[in-house]
Structure 1
Amino acid sequence: MNFIAKAGLLTVRFRGFVAVSDMRLIVVNDVSVVRGGATKVAIQCLQACVRAVVDCTFFVGDDGAGLKEYGLHIPTVALGEKPLRDGPDITNIFDRHFNKRAYEALSKLLWESSEETVVHVHGWNQILSPSIFHALAQSRARVIITAHDFFLNCPNGGRLNYKSGEICPVKPMSFECLATNCDKRNYLHKLWRFRRMLGQIGVGNAFWERIEVILVHEKMEAYLTPGPIGNFQTLRTPTEPLTWRPTEPWRRERIMFLGRMTWEKGVRTLGEALRMTGEPATLIGRGPLLEEMQVMLPHCWVPGWLDDATVSELADQARIFVMPSRMPEPYGLVAAEAIMSGIPVIISSNALIAEEIEENGAGLVFKSGDAASLAEALLKVKNDGLVQKLAEGARAFADKIAPSRPEWERRMIAIYAGKTAFLAA
């Protein structure tokens, strides 16, 4: 366990208002290496605090090495453990229900903090476990949680039945939920997840009623209620274009996918649609289905993960981006990044952002999990005129889809400082 000395408390002025007065912020996340949206936002919170000269500590389950990539030198408490996705072992059966080391380390950190401590939690299911909530409930710290998924009330975190492929209509943690085999692995793993969620709920309603939840999309609230959690505010993830160069997608040919190669991200649906149409495409990402896609789609380029500079160059050549997720995708960062680049998208009906993309003429929506529906959409965008019209819609929608990075930082620091009411935005 690695403890690094904390910085002093400061009072500063941030873009026109007093941001912090004798406040300490603790940002909590499973990992420091960016492989998904939750960690990316956690890092952005740390960067915002550095720019605002906020006294900030990072509490992280892994070794904290991911901070080096961003040149962040901040006080860090790192447990040095590896996430479940990197290969679980027998000890995980017990300590990922309740990670005692995480509980003790966070309790110690909170005990050393002043009463003005604010704790911002991002991810906890890979390493930290619900034990962190037991530590937080015993402190007087103000607790903010960004809901990047549905692990606040759903055992599998996706509000998705991984067996049927449908959005789950069952009340989370009910007897019907217990009896439903919805897990991506097997029913025994569902029972393990259910037991872990009982430990999370067991912190008590008094704690859950006082936490503040930041939603990355306003439609998430319907999936997190009813229940003891009631303090919601929407703050969409700051987004930058995949490419800053002017794009003319109707003159391009490349169909693109960028994301994790997993079933819930709709990769198999996309693979089937590409095989049905024979359309060439580039699928960028890593995950358990990478090799399957490479074999399934010999007429496509499936290189695995690529660095940001290469993705930017390829995006400049993109005709369309596809986001085929089968889960109720809370936001869909790639879709927003493409739209901000003036590139239209084809998006699953299960994505929470799908309706507004269609209403703003920035893309097409297909029926989630339906390869034939996606194939039909892929054939539609062979029409140059349609793609040009969708690209115009994407450019018009770009300024509305997400806040700019400076605006997001201003609002986040205001939330930390209690300068904004915690109400739905």
Structure 2
Amino acid sequence: MIDRVVILNDIARPMGGATALALLSAHLFRARALPVTFISGDAGENAELAAAGVEVVALGQARLEAAGVASALVGGLFNRPAMAMVTRWIAANDTPGTVYHLHGWAQILSPSVFKALQPVAHRLVLSAHDFFLTCPNGSQSFLKSGRICPLTPMTPACIAANCDRRLYAHKLWRVARQAVQRRFYDRQNSPPVFAIHEAMRPFLMRAGIPSAAIHTVPNPVTAWTQERIAAEQNDEVLFVGRLEATKGPDLAAAACRAAGVTLRVIGDGGCASGLRRNIPRHC
């Protein structure tokens, strides 16, 4: 029997796909009348969680890019207040029927959350929304070129590869963070890992997570209609999302240009100005 579900995520606001799934799971568990605690690294401000009866435990810190250089460099490697918060909650509230589900940790909670969760690792589930469980830059790719990385994470070849979107020094900091995480996360005896796509399996296995620990759980989708939409008859493609290179708005623009169809873009980000120059009427 499950006494309570504890969801851990860097932020409690609906920001990004990983957090959206963490929040959705909290609401779905509540819909099944299960007690839910949401432990977040930010201020924990979310009226919908409160209205659903979700207990929110918040650290009150900011994401790395907003935390200041010194705080980000040190806290990003090992956030001691985050570890203390999770450790205290477990000591005060854990039961044999409490289940823990860790979502995003790379922005605030840091690898310290793995140390805090060690005593309950046998009741822990990990979500792989990306590759931060295994790969220093979280993408298993060369971020500047978009090429898929063929290297085994944290090998000498991996450490030497300049695959980060920023400077190589930033890659080395991420290598250090991955090394800290590996001290407290036993990949060979990993808790269950929920991958959002089956194609993630070989990359996770390359880093040492056994296939038996990996379970493919696709993102939930609610259809807008049960009737087939004749999309091939449409004369416009809609792109909605964060306008960053890793999200592929430039690829969408190139594909639409090649197909001779109009692309309409809704969103903002680093690629916005370049897209406006290429498709000014629809950005």
Note whether the superposition's TM-score is higher than 0.5: yes
TM (normalized to structure 2)? 0.89
- TM-score, L = length of structure 1: 0.61
- What residue number does 1:30 align with? 10
Decide whether aligned partners of structure 1 residues 237 and 43 sit closer, same or farther in structure 2, where only a CA change above 3 A counts. same
Q: 1:242 to 1:179 in 2, by over 3 A?
A: farther
Measure the CA separation in 2 of the matches of 1:69 and 1:241: 24
- Deviations along 1:231-282, one digit per CA (max 9) or x if unpaired, are 1222212101356786333432111212221111222333445566764211
Using a 3 Å threshold, how does the CA distance of structure 1 residues 243 and 282 change in structure 2: closer, same or farther? farther
Cα gap change, 1:237 to 1:127, in 2 (>3 Å): same
Q: Which amino acid aligns with 2:268?
A: R
In the alignment, is the contact (CA less than 8 A) between 1:57 and 1:74 conserved in 2? Answer: yes
Report if aligned partners of 2:65, 2:72 keep a CA contact under 8 Å in 1.
no
Verify: 1:176 aligned to 2:157, yes or no.
yes
Distance change (3 Å), C-alpha of 1:251 and 1:54: same
Asked whether 1:44 is paired with 2:20, we answer no
- AA aligned to 1:52 is R
* % identical equivalent positions: 32
Alignment equivalent of 1:293, drawn from 251, 275, 279: 275
**Which residue does the alignment assign to 2:145?**
164
Give the alignment partner of residue 114 of structure 1, picking from 78, 91, 95.
95
Alignment map for 1:3-402 (pairs within 5 Å): 20-21=1-2, 23-68=3-48, 71-86=51-66, 88-112=68-92, 113-139=94-120, 142-203=123-184, 205=186, 209-230=189-210, 231-241=213-223, 247-274=229-256, 279-299=261-281, 301-302=282-283
1:210 and 1:87 map into 2 onto residues whose CA distance is 31
Corresponding position of 1:324: none
State the AA in 2 paired with 1:49.
F
Deviations 1:144-185 (A, max 9, x none): 001111111000111111133210001100010110000011
Match of 2:249, as an amino acid?
V
In structure 1, distance between residues paired with 2:53 and 2:273: 37
Structure 2 unaligned residues grouped into runs of 5+: none
- Confirm or deny: 8 A CA contact 2:40 2:56 kept in the other structure: yes
| Maintained 8 Å contact 2:194/2:214 | yes
8 A contact 1:181–1:190 mirrored in 2: yes
CA contact (8 A) 1:32 1:67 kept: no
Change (3 A) 1:87 1:259: farther
Cα offset for 1:37?
Answer: 1.8
Question: Alignment length, in residue pairs?
Answer: 280
Decide whether the 8 Å contact of 1:119 with 1:141 is kept in 2: no
| Paired residue type of 1:286 | D
Q: Provide the aligned C-alpha RMSD in A.
A: 2.4
Per the TM alignment, residue 223 of structure 1 is displaced from its structure 2 partner at its CA by: 0.6
Contact 1:115–1:141, Cα closer than 8 Å, also in 2: no
In structure 2, the residue corresponding to 1:191 is in which secondary structure?
Answer: helix
1:306-338, Cα deviation, whole Å (9 max, x unpaired) = xxxxxxxxxxxxxxxxxxxxxxxxxxxxxxxxx
Q: Distance in 1 between matches of 2:252 and 2:277?
A: 14
Relative to 1, partners in 2 of residues 1:158 and 1:278: Cα closer, same or farther, differing over 3 Å?
same
Shift of 1:53: 1.2
Bigger radius of gyration: 1
Distance 2:70 2:232 in 1: 52
Question: What is the identity, as a one-letter code, of the residue corresponding to 1:89?
Answer: V
1 CA distance for matches of 2:222 and 2:150?
34
Please give the secondary structure, in 1, of the residue aligned with 2:19: helix
The answer to whether the 8 A contact 1:33-1:67 is kept is: no
